[in-house]
Amino acid sequence: MDVPPFDVALSDAASDVDALMDRLIVVPEGPEARVVEAMRYAALGPGKRLRPFLVLCSAGLFGVGRRGALQAAAAVEMVHAYSLVHDDLPAMDNSDLRRGRPTCHKQFDDATAILAGDGLLTLAFEVLAQPHTHADPAVRCELVTALAVAAGNQGMVGGQMFDLLAEHRPDLDIGAITRLQRLKTGALIAFSCEAGGILGKAPHDARVALRGYAHDLGLAFQIADDLLDVEGSPDQTGKPVGQDAAAGKATFVSILGVPRARAQAELLVAQAVAHLDIFDANTELLRQTARFVVERRA
Ligand code: GRG
């Protein structure tokens, strides 16, 4: 089967997942409408939709139907959007700008932003549990469990705690930073890659390969993020830059320096794509995603 150009595939994925989230996040009548408007603001705002794209690409390896894959893609994007809303709050990063627009708590207010994050996190699991996601309840249950582990204290929430405690700890070493980032951003990226394997009831070796790809991709993504924080501008990235240094945080870039961090990201891209060699199916989009992750400017 012909593979569409990377840009087209990424933008089609973004349109399709946005169309589904638009249908799933419905503003009701009554005073609770405000929190749903904030959920829509956070989830449907501009963004790369990288995690949904990874779900769709990994699902594509196993011939999974588009609707089921989109359900899982929408769920992971909702969890991602929630994490950004909560991360931007005054009690955490205290950011005013996200995706080139006021952050959710600036557009609404702190309490509404907290509730909007809670609403998105909760809705994600409702979506995974819907029969549209997969006909087999055991598959839906496996997706729910995997996303809970990735998003919760064993994954993103644990990583965020670690990150908050890492402020003013420029002494943290590369091993500690790697663990922190694997939890904070890597776990959700890993879920996105593994979701296709769960939906497609993929064999063990395929899941191991996807996990390896996701691990290297997640670290490459984070190094690219650290480089953008040093070298990018708010116009490019749509968010404040220089925040890591201002918070006295150790990062891959503060420890390795820019040239070695860039070389490490390249090495991780090469390692990530090597994991894909076991697949007979076309892995071109996943290979190009690894390049995109380190070459992106936002
Ligand atoms: C609040 C529980 C909780 C967790 C927050 C992921 C996270 C943990 C915070 C985000 C802070 C941050 C900027 C981390 C760096 C990596 C990252 C997740 C960047 C944003 O993801 P992109 O680049 O964003 O995929 P878009 O806007 O394209 O969706």
Torsion sign across C-alpha atoms 50, 155, 34, 32: positive
Ligand 1 centroid to residue 185 C-alpha, Å: 7
Q: Is the CB of 84 under 6 A from ligand 1?
A: yes
Query: What is the rounded CA–CA span in Å between residue 26 and residue 127?
Result: 13
Q: How confident is the prediction along the chain (298 residues), in pLDDT tens digits per residue?
A: 678 899 999 999 999 999 999 999 999 999 999 999 999 999 999 999 999 999 999 999 999 999 999 999 999 999 999 999 999 999 999 999 999 999 999 999 999 999 999 999 999 999 999 999 999 999 999 999 999 999 999 999 999 999 999 888 888 999 999 999 999 999 999 999 999 999 999 999 999 999 999 999 999 999 999 999 999 888 888 888 888 888 888 899 999 999 999 999 999 999 999 999 999 999 999 999 999 999 988 8
Q: What angle do CA 41, 155, 108 make, to 5 degrees?
A: 20
Ligand 1 centroid from CA 82, angstroms: 9
Q: Is the C-beta atom of 54 inside 6 A of ligand 1? A: no
Atom of ligand 1 nearest to the CA of 85: 1
CA angle 249, 255, 258 (to 5 degrees): 105
- Of 3.40.50.1000, 3.30.43.10, 3.40.50.1820, 1.10.600.10, the CATH number of 6-295 is 1.10.600.10
Ligand 1 probe mutation, 10, 54, 78, 87, most atoms within 8 A of CB: 87
Pocket test residue of 185, 239, 244, 295 for ligand 1, highest count of atoms within 8 A of CB: 185
pLDDT number for residue 21? 98
pTM listed for this prediction: 0.96
pLDDT of residue 106: 98
249 lines ligand 1 (CB under 6 A): no
Task: Give residues with Cβ within 8 angstroms of 221, minimum separation 6.
Answer: 50, 185, 189, 293, 294
Cα 84 to ligand 1 centroid, rounded to whole Å:
5
List the residue whose alpha carbon is closest to atom 18 of ligand 1.
185
Cα torsion angle, 96, 102, 105, 106, sign: positive
What residue spans define the domains of the chain?
6-295
From the CB of 87, is ligand 1 less than 6 Å away? Answer: yes
DSSP type of residue 275: G
N residues, the chain? 298
95: nearest Cα among 112, 113, 78: 113
